[in-house]
Amino acid sequence: MRTHAAAALLAASLSLTDGFTIPTHPRQPSASSATAGSGSSVVLDMASKNREKIASRSKWAESRGYGDAATGDGSDSGMTFEADPEKNQLTVTPIASLDGTVTLPGSKSLSNRCLLLAALSEGSTRVENLLESDDIRYMLEALDTLQVPVERDADDKTAVTVTGQAGPIDSPTPEETMELYLGNAGTAMRPLAAALCMGKGKFVLDGVPRMRERPIADLIDGLKQLGADVSCVEETGCPPVTISADGLKGGEVSISGKMSSQFLSSLLMAAPLIEGDVTISIKDELISAPYVSLTIGLMKKFGVNVQIEGDMDGTPSFIIGADDEGRR
């Protein structure tokens, strides 16, 4: 056990429906979509031209009492779907009434942050309402490969209990290079790239061809400033990411915040594992600041306080420091 990390991250019990504000992005209506006042139908362009997917979605709608999307047969709610495969459009009529309880799916951004922080913390953490998506599946598979105990709930496939490592995640095969395949899961690739630099072992993080087009150079640059032996493809600044980890000491990091806030979030979540104080500065501008606030709020639930200096809309700095007893 590394005591500095054990003091920094404490286990928690989290439900991803409670206590979080999920950042949203305003969407502009497309030229081909129309919305009108009460009583008017809405015409939606369907993203997929695959007829099998359209049929599958029609079956889903019918199974929930919304009527057959292919035929437009109604339900008691008054809501009907009418599909036009030739135009690849779906016409939705108004809902006469709506009554019931809705459980929103978990957030991808919260789910993978929770899983990683739980894996690094001391004790067991139960996480509920995980989003069922590829990003979360790849993170769970990576934790399995790294031999982090993750117990799936037999009665609830969106709930898991993670037994934390009370510090950095070391390779279970220190003499070999461990390969982690992460598909196109950016919310797994970037945080894991930072976290694995804090432990010991050799790793290669890779994914689908699209992943090899997704930038990660700014994060790699920040990790190198802390002394990490880590690299990505120099010509593209994208994965695969190669890591030869032997732990890191504290220090100061200056990174760009223009490309993605995930780089900053990844460094923030990994920082409690570093021996010594860490200061992370944004050298230009920080985009998607609400996602960084989400990360900081979640870290607080695990017992880590992040000190913010400056304006989140400008060039802020973030300090993760230990007190005299080693607590973050």
Is the preceding peptide bond at 191 cis, omega within 30 degrees of 0? no
Query: Tens place of pLDDT for every residue, the chain, 328 residues?
Result: 333 333 346 666 676 655 555 565 544 444 444 444 445 555 555 555 556 666 666 666 666 665 544 444 444 555 676 777 777 777 877 777 778 888 888 899 999 999 999 999 999 999 999 999 999 999 999 999 999 999 999 999 999 999 999 999 999 999 999 999 999 999 999 999 999 999 999 999 999 999 999 999 999 999 999 999 999 999 999 999 999 999 998 999 999 999 999 999 999 999 999 988 999 999 999 999 999 999 999 999 999 999 999 999 889 999 998 654 454 5
pLDDT in tens, 243-268: 999 999 899 999 999 999 999 999 99
Which residues partner with 282 through β-bridges? 255
Contact 286, 293 (CB under 8 A): no
Strand arrangement of the beta sheet that strand 42-45 belongs to: 42-45, 89-92, 81-84
pLDDT tens, position by position, 36-56: 444 555 555 555 555 666 666
Q: What is the pLDDT of residue 126?
A: 96
Residue 262 tokens, joined: 């995930």
Cα–Cα distance measured from residue 62 to residue 54, given in angstroms and rounded to the nearest whole number? 12
Tokens in use for 247? 């732990």
State both tokens at 182: 């992460």
